[in-house]
Structure 1
């Protein structure tokens, strides 16, 4: 590999520079909102000088993935995540798998109130949709801010796939919005994923 100066390890969502000073190469992307270049994957940042005959004098920033990392969530991917915190307008979760492969790094996801379900969005109650510890199947919408992926459960096959009850049992889905504890018979509200998806 050719020597490209000092290489720095970066992670997804890390700011690499302003679009006015740098071009986004492989492993990097530009946010149209703030015209900033961000890292799209975990790897080593390198700066490639512009070609001699180029009119654009900005160097290109690239991120070359290091080989040790596992799968990385990307927009459009289906992920399995464990809910860690539920607030009034959103829930946060740790992404455990991208498709069938488990991740080797920590990726955080956020499910916003408007992304929980496709209908009656304004009536979504986050605490009636998820609880900490729930395992959810979700769609990656985008790499949001603060290095957290925006996730959606707004399709029938997305939502809570596994949840533990207060009695410590694995709850059984009984409808789109309810799961029941097989031990106590207690019913709890959830945004349930359609089985067999």
Structure 2
């Protein structure tokens, strides 16, 4: 049997124990890697392990990876996303992930309102910090993580104007976001290049 990270393998009890490539959450043992499930059967217990299968594991997001995601929807205290890329590598299939309210910012966590940070359709940069039944757990707490591409309610591509706002250049309407540093720096560089080009004419 093959598995991917987050797959529930079995109930954890005195007879079933988790081994290499697994993690325990609640009353269940889950896969922490992609690969083949190996069950070591002893007299009084079974040990569940996940053995990496060739290069397959390299195509699967892992804890610590920096990933590019698309926001699907905001529900309760979670932002549901799909992981589309690991670093600069585009995945053949997306993986489900969530950003919990407490993982959006490094400070003032209690006052975070998810809908003022992300909107469905936004492209965000985040870091994988764990696994859960709902998918990968992501964090945008660092300044380098957050929204990199977003469209306004009118469908216009917006530009960042601060760490917490993006603006529709056509209608001059601002919307709140948790903006990634890379988005701000890219826009700043583009503005500088534009000014230099204008000065040359």
Unaligned runs of 5+ in 2: 187-201
Q: Does 1:16 align with 2:9?
A: yes
Match of 1:95 among 83, 91, 96: 83
Q: 1:63 to 1:105 in 2, by over 3 A?
A: farther
Match of 2:142 among 140, 151, 155: 155
For residues 88-109 of structure 1, what are the alpha-carbon distances to aligned partners after superposition, in whole Å with 9 as ceiling and x for unaligned?
4221000111222222333111
Q: Report the equivalent of 2:124.
A: 136
Residue aligned with 2:110, SS: helix
Task: Give the stretch that moved more between structures: 100-109 or 148-157.
Answer: 100-109
Q: Does 1:26 align with 2:17?
A: no
For normalisation by structure 1, the TM-score amounts to: 0.81
For residues 46-76 of structure 1, what are the alpha-carbon distances to aligned partners after superposition, in whole Å with 9 as ceiling and x for unaligned?
22344xxxxx843332223444565322222
2:34/2:56 contact within 8 Å kept: no
Q: Which structure's residues are more often helix, by fraction?
A: 2
Q: CA RMSD in A?
A: 2.3
Deviation at 1:133, TM superposition (A): 0.5
2:70/2:124 contact within 8 Å kept: yes
1:84/1:93 contact within 8 Å kept: yes
1:86/1:127 contact within 8 Å kept: yes
Q: Determine the C-alpha separation between the residues in 2 that align with 1:40 and 1:73.
A: 10
Unaligned runs of 5+ in 1: 1-7, 51-55
Matches within 5 A, 1:1-197: 8-17=1-10, 18-31=12-25, 33-34=26-27, 36-50=28-42, 57-66=44-53, 67-68=55-56, 70-146=58-134, 148-195=135-182, 196=185
